[in-house]
Amino acid sequence: MSKIGFIGLGIMGRPMAGHLLDAGHELVTVKRGTLDATLAEKGAKVAADPKAVAEASDVIITMVPDTPDVETVLFGENGIVEGLRPGTLVIDMSSIAPIATQGFAKRIHEAGGEYVDAPVSGGEGGAINAALTIMVGATEEGFERARPILEVMGKTITHIGGHGAGQTCKVANQIVVALTIEAVAEGLLFASKAGADVAKVRESLLGGLAQSKILDVHGERMIKRTFDPGFRIRLHQKDLNLALEGARSLNLSLPGTANAQQLFQACAAHGGADWDHAGILRALEALADHEIGR
């Protein structure tokens, strides 16, 4: 069993850390207020800062919101790199910029560690059920070292390529997810405006070619109007920014992605930055002057 440092006990990180404790690993985290009672009962310990976490760990996992947050945790004052022991495995499971990830990997390697980028898909439900899809960028050695730990938290674990490749895959994932959520919202809105029973429409679509996990999970959220996260719109905006910035650097047009980002921005402008991303429906409803089911 490993001594694991886990930084980032949010909606996703909390259940992920719990699975590691259930598997028999020791776990230490950074104290931010009161430690989650369930994790404390399972034996999680707290340290003063990321440096202290690194000093107590063989493996370090970060699961924080954005690229600057990862950089601060790794290289800021009392950051991980200051307490990094030779050979420590650093696994970043956040969703951040691929190019920055390559730079972080180089700096961790120069400090004597092994770096793996391993962003996830599957949302809160996937984290709770240890059923996450994990996209890995690493050396072959790094991947093999990380695999047993990742298998505790996920079901589909794929080594995409070298450093940054996992993050590139995650950006692609977020493009597909955003456009599919928008498509589901548009379909249900059309059906509702035309006078159909949207619950029965969704039930029928789930049996045909339009079937998807997003139609299943987020379609139900839309019909029941349960927009508590989940996965927050502001975080999906961050991911689509990465996609659009990357597209500019590649001289690539992503019109559907840009449109989805504008709809998310409309939600944020109406106070919805912390809605679940299924809340994109509300922007479309505002344009139509119609709420589904009404």
Side-chain-side CA neighbours of residue 285 (13 Å): 19
In sign, the C-alpha dihedral spanning 224, 225, 231, 237 is: positive
Q: Catalytic annotation on 170?
A: yes
Q: Which residues contact 101 (CB under 8 A, 6 or more apart)?
A: 92, 117, 137, 163, 164, 166, 167
Peptide bond into 230 cis (omega under 30): yes
Query: How many angstroms separate the most distant Cα atoms in the chain?
Result: 65
Rounded to an integer, what is the distance from CA 208 to the centroid of its chain? Answer: 28
| Catalytic pick among 3, 51, 170, 224 | 170
Amino acid type, 86: P
- Between CA 253 and CA 260, with CA 257 as vertex, the angle to 5 degrees is 145
Q: Which residues contact 168 (CB under 8 A, 6 or more apart)?
A: 98, 137, 160, 246
**Catalytic positions:** 170
